[in-house]
Structure 1
Amino acid sequence: MSDERNSPLVDEAMKKASVAWVAVGGGPSLALWCVPLEGVLFVVSGPGEQSAPGLAETDEAQVTLRGDHGGRIVTWPARVTRVVPGTGEWDTLAPLVGAKRLNARGATADLVARWAADGCVLARLAPAGQPAHGTELPAASLAEPPRPSPAVRVTRRPFRLHRVRRR
């Protein structure tokens, strides 16, 4: 299913990908666990799995792959299709993706059956055109401010049982 127009950079980055940063509809990029198979990335989301808002309903997304040290390698447009449970395609692909699922409890067949029963989405992210970024280095920083989170709290001074003398 690999598209012959795929960039060699995209193909090579996908081969080693285990996490992809996926942005849907101009929203923020979310880090999603993924499995590279047949020249595309597969992502599972839904109840009991990772949250990927909007991915099940969209036809396109932006995928960013990063290197071992966190730096961006390439960003490319992706065509998103859904693999439907109960089809021959599901029966072939879902066990392959399930076998690579880290920290899965139970057998792969049980995991795939749970995905189908719970309404989880198995999405295929196929390259749809040339990379948007990655062929040249950016002139400016790509750093973004942290997104608001309920997990953020005020940092307090550490507790000390006794006084620390300075010399």
Structure 2
Amino acid sequence: MTALDQALIEETAKKSALLWVRGPQGPARALWHVWHEGAVCLVGRGSDTPGPDADPGRTEQPLVGLGLTDGGTATVTARSKDKGGRLVAWPARVVELRPGTEAWQAATEELKGKRLNAPDSGTLLERWSRDCRVLRLEPAGAPVQAPDRMPDTPQAAPPLPSPATTRRPAPAGLPKLLLRGRRGKRR
């Protein structure tokens, strides 16, 4: 990997709030992260091994179904901060950090600083050590896509299944109810 490739990976990872991570299983998923000591670090709930799902309160991003295992591989895609389009995609080696290690402590301190709206900020690290996985995605080679190496075919994918729904039409009587409230204020 050239110094330019390394700088491109680092800068896009630092400036982007989300990266799209594709493991050996399933489609890519947008995940929040931090860039720390030469790698992307992320925290999430669940694992790809049988057993109870971690983080029962579902307060962290899901990692289940991506196939991200210690020593495995992933593809990380970052977008351009200015234009919003894909800028770089690179192969990564997955390293799972174990709670209590120096590397886990350093990574989680960085992640804690970027974690927005944590319901338990005082005990966040204890919950992460008990219920979540902390992963490092280390660059493992030259980018497979970069400004001078983009694919010619469309890369769009259908949205993942979700219980979320789109907005439904407003009930027919709602505009009259809203206007009636305004008429009373004008008097």
TM bucket, shorter chain:
0.7 to 0.9
Match for residue 103 of structure 1 among 110, 117, 132:
117
How many residues are treated as equivalent by the alignment? 158
Q: Does 1:121 align with 2:133?
A: yes
| Deviation (angstroms), 1:72 | 0.6
Residue by residue, what CA displacement relative to the aligned partner does 1:139-163 show, whole Å, maximum 9, x if unpaired? 232222333434357x76543238x
Task: Flag structure 1 segments of 5+ consecutive residues without an equivalent.
Answer: 163-167
Distance 1:57 1:90, change over 3 A: closer
Cα distance, 1:35 vs structure 2: 0.8
Over the matched positions of the two proteins, sequence identity in percent amounts to 39
1:50 corresponds to which of 32, 57, 61: 61
- Of the candidates 128, 131, 145, which is equivalent to residue 133 of structure 1? 145
C-alpha separation in 1, matches of 2:110 and 2:139: 20
> Deviations for 1:56-111, whole angstroms, at most 9, x for unmatched residues?
45611000011234311111000110111011222232122212211123445x21
One-letter amino acid matched to 2:74 = A
Task: Judging by fraction of residues, say which structure has more helix.
Answer: 2
Alignment of 1:5-154 (within 5 A): 7-46=6-45, 47=55, 48-53=59-64, 54-56=67-69, 59-68=72-81, 69-107=83-121, 110-118=123-131, 120-136=132-148, 137-152=150-165
- The amino acid across from 1:31 in the alignment is A
What amino acid does structure 2 have at the position aligned with 1:130?
A
Aligned counterpart, 2:52: none
Moved more, 71-80 or 142-151: 142-151
Report the equivalent of 2:183: none
Does the aligned pair in 1 maintain the 2:89–2:143 contact within 8 Å? yes
Give the whole-Å Cα distance in 2 for the aligned partners of 1:76 and 1:127.
7
Query: How much is the aligned-residue C-alpha RMSD, in angstroms?
Result: 2.7
Deviation at 1:4, TM superposition (A): 6.6
Is the Cα contact below 8 Å between 2:70 and 2:95 reproduced in 1? no
Letter in 2 for 1:33: W
- Matching residue's letter, 2:26: G
Distance 2:172 2:129 in 1: 52
Q: Tell me, in whole angstroms, the C-alpha distance in 2 between the residues paired with 1:147 and 1:107.
A: 30
1:39 shift after superposition: 2.0
Query: How far apart in 2 are the matches of 1:35 and 1:76?
Result: 16
| TM-score w.r.t. length of structure 2 | 0.72
Matched-pair contact (CA < 8 Å) for 1:17–1:36: no
